[in-house]
Every structure is written in C-alpha cells, then in structure tokens.
Amino acid sequence: MPENPPNDDRFAGPAGDPPAAQAPSSRRAAREARQSPPTAAQDLPMQRPAPLPATESRAPESSARPSDAASRPSATATAPRPSSGTAAPIEALFEEQARNAPAASARHERDRRKSRIAAWTVFAVILALLGGLVVGGFWVWNTYEDQIRAVMGWEEPKDYEAGIAEGEATLTIVSGDTGADISRTLFDAGVTKTSDAFYSYLIDSGQNPSFVPGVFTLQQKMTSEAALEAIMDPANKQENTAQLREGLTVAQSVERIAEGVGLPLEDVQAAVEDPSAYGVDETSLEGWLFPATYTFDPDVTAEQVIQRMVDRTTEALDAAGVPEDRRHEILTIASIIEKEARFEKDFYKVSRVIQNRLDPSNAETNGLLQMDSTAQYFFSDREGGTSSRAEELADDNPWNTYVHTGLPVGPIANPGELAIKAAMEPEDGPWLYFVTVNLETGETVFTNTISEHEAAVEQWRAWCADNPDGGC
C-alpha cells in the first residue's frame, strides 16, 4: 500500500479528502447548498498528517480490518461540500431555465391571445351571417308575404268558420249603402273576418239582396252567409235606435239618426244648425255628437236626440279631465286621431306625432301637421283614405293642414272616448311621420326622419300595387 493514496474523490477517511458530494437534484437544493453556513468539513482544507517517523511507535491496531478504517467516513465530518466541478454546470442549467422561462411564458400567452382572437372572430362572423339571414328573411316575408302564402298554399281564409260566433255587434245601414259599403261596416264591427269577405260572398253566391236601412243586432265572428241571413231577418232590426260609430261627421250622423229613430231627415238637419241651442259655443256641432248606440222613445224629437248626444260628449270630456277652456282644442286633436289611427296603441302614437309637429322647436316640419284626413274633410265626397288628391292637398280651406300651420279651425269628425283620452295623454316618442302600409291589417309604421318615412311609403305603394281594390 502506498504511503499517500492517490488524489481520487472516491477515497475518503480520516487522513484523506472528503468524498465528493452528490449533485443537487433541484434549483432549491442548489440554492440551499450555496447559502448554508460553512463548516469545517466543507470549507477548511483538510490537513494530511505528517508521516510518522520510522522510530515512532504506532497505535495498536483495532480489531477492525484495515480496509474498514480506510473506507469509512470520518465520524466528525458533516455534509461534504460539493465539488465546484459538479455543482457549477447544474446551477448554470437552472439559471438558464430561469432566464428562458419568461420568454416561454410570453410566447404561450401570445399563442393563447391569438387563439382567443381567432375564436371571437369566428363567433362574430357566425353571428353576422345569422343576423343577415334573419334580417333578409324578415324583409322578404314583409315584402312578399302575400305571394309566398299564395305559392305555398298558406293563404288564410277570408271568412270565419261556422259555429264560432259570439257576443253581440250592431250594424247600421243607411240609404244608398252598397254591398261593398256594408261589407266594410261588418268588418269594422267585428262581424266578419276581412273587409271584403261579405262582398265576395255576395258575388260568389250570385245574390243581389235589397238592404233595408236601420240598426241590426248581429254577433261577432259570423260567417258572411250567417251575417246576410241576420240582416234580412226583420226580428234583428232595432226600432227607434241610432248607432253612431267613431269618426263620422255631422253630415253622416244625421242620416243614421233619421234612419234609426224614424225621424224626417230634414228635421234632424235643422236640429244641428244652431250649436248654441245645446250650450256649445261653436259655429258647428262637428265633434260634439258622441259615437254610441242610442235607443229612444217612439215620440222623441230631433232636438231631444241631439241634446242627448251633446250631453254624452260633455260627460266624456269631463271623464278625461279636459278643462272647459281646452274642449275645442282637445276635440280637434281627438278628431284627427280618430280618423288617422286604427288600433288602440296607435292612437297614443298619432297623438304624439301631432304634438311633435306642433312643437315650435321642431324645424323639420315647420308647424305643418300634413294630415290627409284634414285635407279631405272639406270635400264631402270623401269618406277617407290614406292618399289625397292633388286638389285636396292644395286647397286653401281652414281645415287643410298641408296649407296652414297648426291645428285646423275645428274638429273634422266625432271622436270617441279612446281618441279623447289619447289626445290628453300622448305616448312618449320622437316620431314625426307615420303611414299605414297595409290597409287590410292596419299595420302602421312610425318614423323619425323623412328618409325613413319615404321608405315606409314605398311599402304602402307596393301593397297598393298588389291590392288594386284595397282602398288606396
């Protein structure tokens, strides 16, 4: 055995270098090894004992084998210090991983962000495509609904089915009413399903009945055949009864009063000549003959009939909270609403359009109401409609709101309770225009700008072109 063992880290013992430390297995182990306080076994160089002189006696050998002493670590040695040649590369590896970690994390975040953007882009494209399909389908249906129904066989029947009649309805027929006139009146009263159902039945069945003027009791949701049978049955004719529907003028009302009550027409016409006789401070009773169904005693006079109708109007004004000094204004506005609107929800919107157009701050309409009902009022041959003739629009009469700013000089019809209430309580909204785009269903489009209104007018023109007998 040589006196000094070779300098090999595999050998350790009381007289040799400490054994080589194991390489750290993680960054944390490397950091703890670097930061731990030095120990004698770690940091102080091991002193090899000088060789004993030849004459010096040796300690007695222990009973253990010499190889055990040479290979067993010193009992006093602590954790060995890792050799610099082993720890440095491991530490460098972890430091490089630490330096590369932010870059890898950034790349991962960029990839995730790109994936999210791509996903949202695809989602937006899908939504846009679906939205385009919905909007396109809605436009096609609104524009070509009638043609689509006809091609697909989806046309709804124009008449109600037999056996579903219910409730009660009142029909007034005046002298000169044609089958087409009665057909429209039946529809307005809720008797027939469409405005031309009764007239079409008369044509298809080849019937040409003679209608008796008067007031008749019918039911709602009747077939045209059943309605005709009820009109021709004398038992359904009411005696001494006058029915005035909403929107009639005084001239139209006196005819119905005379027919229903059985009074001479001349007597009724004379009775409406002097409004002051009924406590009305106006030049005309227009707007003051309240629409309702009235039944009178057989010996009633024309003046008594008119007084009762005027009193009923006063009751309606008071019930709506109309101040006495605003009665003329409210009746005028209500009469326009009554002529222009068809459904309850539209009454309040038309009222708002009138208020918006009368607003001095509105520069778009310059105070002109431009209501066709006011332009047509002066012409006695006009029952109403959505379009006016050129001469009506240009005529310089005090009711024509195409020519004169503000409200017309007075009411243009007799309004009912709903129209009076709507005149007092217009719905909030910015609307300045409206047009009924389907005269059969009454669908009305309300718009804020002239360009939007013109687009709606094109819808109305398209409907009129498809329905030449629709009343345009």
Cβ proximity of 281 and 246 under 8 Å: no
How sure is the predictor about 329, in pLDDT bands with cuts at 50, 70 and 90?
Answer: very high
Tokens of 68: 């055990």
Cβ proximity of 253 and 290 under 8 Å: no
Q: How far apart are CA 173 and CA 212, in angstroms?
A: 7
Reported as a single tens digit per residue, the pLDDT across 446-461 is: 999 999 999 999 999 9
Instruction: Give the orientation angle of helix 417-424 with respect to helix 344-358, to 10 degrees.
Output: 40
Q: How far apart are CA 37 and CA 397, in angstroms?
A: 112
Q: Is 36 helix (H, G, I), strand (E, B) or coil?
A: coil
How sure is the predictor about 5, in pLDDT bands with cuts at 50, 70 and 90?
Answer: very low
Q: Could you state, in order of their start, the residue ranges of all structural domains in the chain?
A: 158-238, 240-319, 328-466
Contact partners, residue 329, CB within 8 Å, separation at least 6:
407
Of the ranges 100-104, 213-217, 284-288, the best mean pLDDT one: 284-288
Q: How far apart are CA 419 and CA 414, in angstroms?
A: 10
Q: How far apart are the first and last CA of the chain?
A: 129
How sure is the predictor about 256, in pLDDT bands with cuts at 50, 70 and 90?
Answer: very high
Q: What is the CATH number of domain 158-238?
A: 3.30.1490.480
What average pLDDT score do residues 22-44 get? 54
Lowest mean pLDDT among 25-39, 112-126, 379-393, 413-427: 25-39
Q: How far apart are CA 86 and CA 21, in angstroms?
A: 9
Cβ proximity of 425 and 179 under 8 Å: no
CB atoms within 10 A of CB 459: 17
Cβ proximity of 410 and 287 under 8 Å: yes
Please report the pLDDT score of residue 50 as a whole number: 47
Name the residue among 197, 205, 203, 196 with its Cα closest to residue 160: 197
Reported as a single tens digit per residue, the pLDDT across 182-236 is: 999 999 999 999 999 999 999 999 888 989 888 899 999 999 999 999 999 999 9
Residue 88 pLDDT greater than 50, yes or no: yes
Tokens of 237: 């004719």
pTM for the complete prediction? 0.61
Higher pLDDT, 238 or 384: 238
Helices and strands counted in the chain (H then E): 16, 7
Return the residue matching tokens 């004004």. 317
Q: How far apart are CA 352 and CA 269, in angstroms?
A: 35
Distances in Å between the Cα of 199 and the Cα atoms of 164, 236, 239 are 20, 20, 26
